[in-house]
A and B are shown apart, each in its own frame.
Chain A
Amino acid sequence: MRLIQRPTPSPLHYLYAALGSLATVTAIVLLFTGDVERAAAAFTSVDIHYLARVFLVVAVISLSGVLSYRSGLWNIGQEGQAVVGALAAVASRNALEAVALAALFSTLWILAPAVLRATAEVNEAVTTFLLSLVAIYTARYFIDGPLRDPAKKGFVVTAEAPYLDILAAAAMYLLLLVGVVALYKTRTGLTLRLLASGEEVVRYAGKSPRVYIATALLLSGAVAGVGGAVEIMTREAGRYMTLQQVSTGFGLFGVSAAWLGGLHPLGAAAASLYIAWLYQVATNLKVMGLPALVANALVGSAMAWGLAGYVMYKYRVVWR
């Protein structure tokens, strides 16, 4: 099996990747359900509010992925940054404060990896991933301690996060989307994307790579934190964190959407909708009594196809 570079890359291959993902998902669902009728039910039952909520969370976090990966930087700690964002939301009095604090604290959370990458070339994939695990334990400390709701005697849960209407969340996402698209039209955005070609290129362009490395990672962290806040605040009920349910897995979903969408803000939006639907399918399967791991398996395969789409865009796979 070898890769041959295509003379003319075509974005159509992202579509093929999406079709490949769909075929894989169909196979997985058929495998778990065992019959076509139940599989069809899992595919077609959709709760619009639920789908919209998951879409918005995944779409916001996918923008975090777009911001870092298009700059050639590997922030894979979105899960941890989202946990920090959700914690900030739980500690807030109103939705506006929650979003602001989520962005602030998740930026602070990624500050160390950003500075270490910019100044000491410490691998940001390793540090952001390790900090995700740290975020989970830190969140448990806050749930069990400073943010524990004393009114819920006998249960270790936080106070409830303020409610954020789904339309307000949609408006916020649109603002972020427009912001990222607009950023890429500016000179700063161009320099951020130049980073992916190498720090030397940015240096030749007369800019400091360190500043742009830090900027890309901090922006990425801030957006992932907002995603975490949106996740907890748009729930219709149970807008609190428990010791067991700290990590929601939406970090992986956002990263998958970014790649499946070809690292384009609008492509990531379309991929987020697809992943939200996959999540709905997984939820339907759970309701049918099938294992909870299905959601991860479905989204994980979508991510693999997204990465495959990226490779297929540039290369042809030949058997020899």
Chain B
Amino acid sequence: MAVDIGVVQEALKGAAPILLATLGAVIGQRAGVLNLGLEGVVYLSAAVAAAAGPPWGYPLAVAVGTLYNLLYYLLVNDLALNQILMGFAFTMMAYGVGSQIARPAVGKPIEKPLVQGVEIYLAAVLVAVALHLLLRTRLGVAIKASGDDPASLDLMGVDVYRIRKIAGALEGALASSAGAYLVLIYYGSWSDQLVMGWGTLAVVTAMISLWSPLLAAGASIIPSLFISLAYTLQRLTEASPHLLNTVPYLASIAVLVLAQLAVRKTRLRALAPRWLARPYIREERT
């Protein structure tokens, strides 16, 4: 069977931002926070990058995205507001603010650096390896413990709130790098709909990869492959581009279900952070 090299190369190029955002989601979910606001962080940072343009767009986008994510963590972590709904609200607010910020950039091409895809993906894989190693350090163990058994961690004298905020800062930095990459390197342009859905896909990919940075490196290719396939099919077939755009989301749901069914009755099930989406309130410690 002939493999279209262009599709594979595009998939690797697209997998890099998904991998970065997925690594962010892995860290956050490992710490016990299900952050649907990650979609908002990716969108907002992409908008900032588009508005500022290269070269300052990238660091500025990462700074704004990290702060935005930290604000979310302050509300859901310290104030115990509902993680899922706040994430949803943060995404909606980021759509509104981001589209407004980047309005002057609509339709204007952004000068892209020359990247082929493979090297960018390899760089992202290196980040995954670094995070894998981080999860084996004292800080990494604390992050994992805050998602598995925060009460015990607290009893050992570790500030769970602080650990979760560190995880939030890492998550924000990684997700906002993904957003800036999408606009400055992957698309090289901005429109309101361009970045929609990439952050949510990353939340799903983190679950598919069983919260392992190394598995995330492989899992991030799945949605990216379907996104690239959708573009290729748009050129080659007469199928509606609108329907083809739904494929990456539907495929991600399908893979998530398959992954969950596959690990359901195995020991791998224990990898899921037991406190995922549950706020930790010290005074309720039992």
A and B bind: yes
In Å, the complex CA distance between A133 and B78 comes to 30
The answer on a CB contact under 8 Å between B203 and A76 is no
Question: 7 tightest A-B contacts by CB?
Answer: A296-B96, A293-B96, A141-B242, A140-B242, A300-B93, A307-B81, A137-B245
The answer on a CB contact under 8 Å between B200 and A5 is no
Q: Is A249 positioned at the interface, with any CB of B under 8 Å from its CB?
A: yes
Give the residues from 236 to 256 in chain B that come closer than 8 angstroms, CB to CB, to chain A.
240, 242-243, 245-246, 249-250, 252-253, 256
Interchain residue pairs with CB less than 8 A apart (20): A5-B281, A76-B88, A120-B260, A120-B261, A120-B264, A125-B84, A126-B36, A131-B249, A131-B253, A133-B249, A134-B249, A145-B240, A252-B88, A252-B89, A255-B85, A293-B97, A297-B97, A300-B96, A307-B86, A315-B281
Q: Is A259 positioned at the interface, with any CB of B under 8 Å from its CB?
A: yes
The answer on a CB contact under 8 Å between B282 and A2 is yes
Give the residues from 95 to 126 in chain B that come closer than 8 angstroms, CB to CB, to chain A.
95-97, 99-100
The answer on a CB contact under 8 Å between A126 and B242 is no
- Cβ contact of B75, chosen from A120, A291, A304, cutoff 8 A: A304
- Mostly, the A contact residues are helix
In Å, the complex CA distance between A24 and B93 comes to 15
Q: Is B204 positioned at the interface, with any CB of A under 8 Å from its CB?
A: yes
Q: Is B54 positioned at the interface, with any CB of A under 8 Å from its CB?
A: no
In Å, the complex CA distance between A74 and B246 comes to 22
Q: Is A130 positioned at the interface, with any CB of B under 8 Å from its CB?
A: yes
Q: Is B21 positioned at the interface, with any CB of A under 8 Å from its CB?
A: no
The answer on a CB contact under 8 Å between B100 and A291 is yes
Q: How far is the CB of A317 from chain B (nearest CB, A)?
A: 7
In Å, the complex CA distance between A154 and B197 comes to 30
Interface residues of A (CB under 8 A from B): 1-5, 74, 76, 112, 116, 120-123, 125-127, 129-131, 133-134, 137-138, 140-141, 144-145, 249, 252, 255-256, 259, 291-293, 295-297, 300, 303-304, 307-308, 310-311, 315, 317
- Mostly, the B contact residues are helix
In Å, the complex CA distance between A175 and B82 comes to 30
- Cβ contact of A116, chosen from B95, B249, B257, cutoff 8 A: B257
Give the residues from 158 to 212 in chain B that come closer than 8 angstroms, CB to CB, to chain A.
196-197, 200-201, 203-204, 207
Given contacts A133-B200, A141-B240, contact A126 B92 (CB under 8 A): no
The answer on a CB contact under 8 Å between B282 and A129 is no
Give chain B residues whose Cβ lies under 8 Å from the Cβ of A122: 256-257, 260
